[in-house]
C-alpha cells in the first residue's frame, strides 16, 4: 500500500509569517512530487512540482525534497490571507498500464490570520 | 497545462436516478482520470479512462455503478448510476497532459436527496 501522509491541521499562521507544510511518503521508488492548493469548494490547483533532492523556489513558495528521509515539504513565505486553503501533497507512484498513478495525502488546512 | 471543463458544475438529484458528468479538454490527452472527493476528505481515484479501451476501475468501484465513456482524446463521461445519498460528493476529472503532472477540472458537486 503506497501512502502519503500529511498533518491534517488546521495550521494557523499570522499574516507575513512562514507557513511550513509537511508530507511523508512510503514508496521509496517515487520520483515526482507535487503540491496542490485547494480552496474551499474548488478543485485542486497545481502550485509546485519537485523531482530532485533539495530546494525549489517559485516566488513565495519553496518545495523541499529529501528522498532519503522520504519527506517533502512546502514553505510559504510572507503568508497572505489569500493563501488560506487546503494543501494536498501528491506523489507520482510511477507508470502502470493505466498511466501515472498519483497518490494524494489527506491535505493540510492552512489559515492565515490577518 | 491543459484547460479542462466539466458539466454540470453542480446538481441535486433524487435517490435512484443517474447523472452523467462530462469532461472536456482543450488538447488531446492519453489518459483521463475520474476522482471522487467526499466532504472533508482527500481525493479517491475511481477509474482511469483510456481512449479506445474500457476504463480501469480502482478497488471498490465497479462499472455498473460508474460507467465511463472515452470516445476520443479530448472527452470523457462518468455516470453515477442508481444514486444514493452516499454518492453525494465532488466528482473531478483530471488529465496528465502527456507529462507526469495531473491537472484537474473544476469539479461537479453532486447532492443526492
Considering only CB atoms, which chain B residues are within 8 Å of A43?
A: 90, 92, 104-107
Q: What is the pLDDT of residue B40?
A: 79
Least confident interval from A24-28, B42-46, B100-104: B100-104
Encode pLDDT of A52-90 as tens digits.
999 999 999 999 999 999 999 999 999 999 999 999 999
DSSP state, residue B86: G
Minimal CA separation from B107 to chain A, in Å: 6
The pLDDT score that the predictor gives to residue B99 is: 67
Angstroms from B103 CA to nearest CA on chain A: 7
pLDDT band at B100 (very low <50, low <70, confident <90, very high): confident
Question: What gap in Å lies between CA B53 and CA B89, rounded to an integer?
Answer: 27
Residue A87 β-bridge partners: A37, A108
The fraction of chain B above a pLDDT of 70, given in percent, is 97
Task: Return the pLDDT at B37.
Answer: 94
pLDDT given at position A101 = 77
pLDDT at B1: 74
Per-residue confidence band for A93, with pLDDT thresholds at 50, 70 and 90: confident
Quick one: pLDDT band at residue A98, thresholds 50, 70, 90? low
Phi, psi dihedral angles at A81 (to 5 degrees): -55, -30
- pLDDT band at residue B46, thresholds of 50, 70 and 90? very high
Strand-strand pairing, B108-112 and B10-13: parallel
Which residues on B lie below 8 Å from A92 (Cβ)?
100
Which pLDDT value is given to residue A2?
65
Considering CB atoms only, which of A46, A98, A106 is closest to B56?
A98
pLDDT digits (tens, 9 = 90+) for A4-42: 999 878 999 999 999 999 999 998 888 899 999 999 989
- pLDDT tens digits along B7-40: 999 999 999 999 999 999 999 988 899 999 998 7
- Per-residue pLDDT band at B98 (split at 50, 70, 90): low
Element at B109 (helix H, strand E): strand B108-112
In this complex, the residue of A42, A43, A99 whose CB is nearest that of residue B96 is A99
Q: Exposure string (b/e) for A39-72, b if CB count within 10 Å is 16 or more?
A: eeeebbebbbbbeeeeeeeeeebbbbbebeebeb
Q: Do B33 and B48 form a contact (C-beta atoms < 8 A)?
A: yes
The pLDDT value given to residue A87? 96
Question: Can you give the pLDDT at residue B71?
Answer: 92
**Residue A59 CB partners (closer than 8 Å, separation 6+):** none
Taking 70 as the threshold, does the pLDDT of residue B108 lie above it? yes
A contact set with B (CB within 8 A): 32, 34, 36, 41-46, 49, 88, 90, 92, 97-100, 102, 104-107
For the beta carbon of residue A81, count every other beta carbon within 10 angstroms.
10
Amino acid at each position: 500500500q503506497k501512502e502519503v501522509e500529511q498533518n491534517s491541521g488546521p495550521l494557523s499562521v499570522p499574516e507575513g509569517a512562514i507557513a511550513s507544510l509537511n508530507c511523508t511518503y512510503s514508496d521509496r521508488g517515487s520520483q515526482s512530487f507535487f503540491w496542490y492548493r485547494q480552496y474551499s469548494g474548488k478543485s485542486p490547483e497545481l502550485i509546485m512540482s519537485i523531482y530532485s533532492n533539495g530546494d525549489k523556489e517559485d516566488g513565495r513558495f519553496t518545495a523541499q525534497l529529501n528522498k532519503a528521509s522520504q519527506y517533502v515539504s512546502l514553505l510559504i513565505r510572507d503568508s497572505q490571507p489569500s493563501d488560506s486553503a487546503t494543501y494536498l501533497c501528491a506523489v507520482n507512484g510511477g507508470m502502470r498500464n493505466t498511466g501515472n498513478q498519483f497518490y494524494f495525502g489527506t491535505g493540510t488546512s492552512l489559515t492565515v490570520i490577518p | 497545462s491543459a484547460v479542462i471543463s466539466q458539466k454540470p458544475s453542480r446538481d441535486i438529484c433524487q435517490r435512484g436516478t443517474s447523472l452523467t458528468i462530462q469532461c472536456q479538454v482543450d488538447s488531446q490527452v492519453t489518459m483521463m482520470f475520474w476522482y471522487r472527493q467526499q466532504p472533508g476528505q482527500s481525493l479517491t481515484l475511481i477509474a482511469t479512462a483510456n481512449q479506445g479501451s474500457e476504463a480501469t476501475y480502482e478497488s471498490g468501484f465497479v462499472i455498473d455503478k460508474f460507467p465511463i465513456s472515452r470516445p476520443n482524446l479530448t472527452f470523457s463521461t462518468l455516470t453515477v448510476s442508481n444514486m444514493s445519498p452516499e454518492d453525494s460528493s465532488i466528482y473531478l476529472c483530471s488529465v496528465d497532459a502527456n507529462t507526469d503532472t495531473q491537472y484537474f477540472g473544476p469539479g461537479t458537486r453532486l447532492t443526492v436527496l
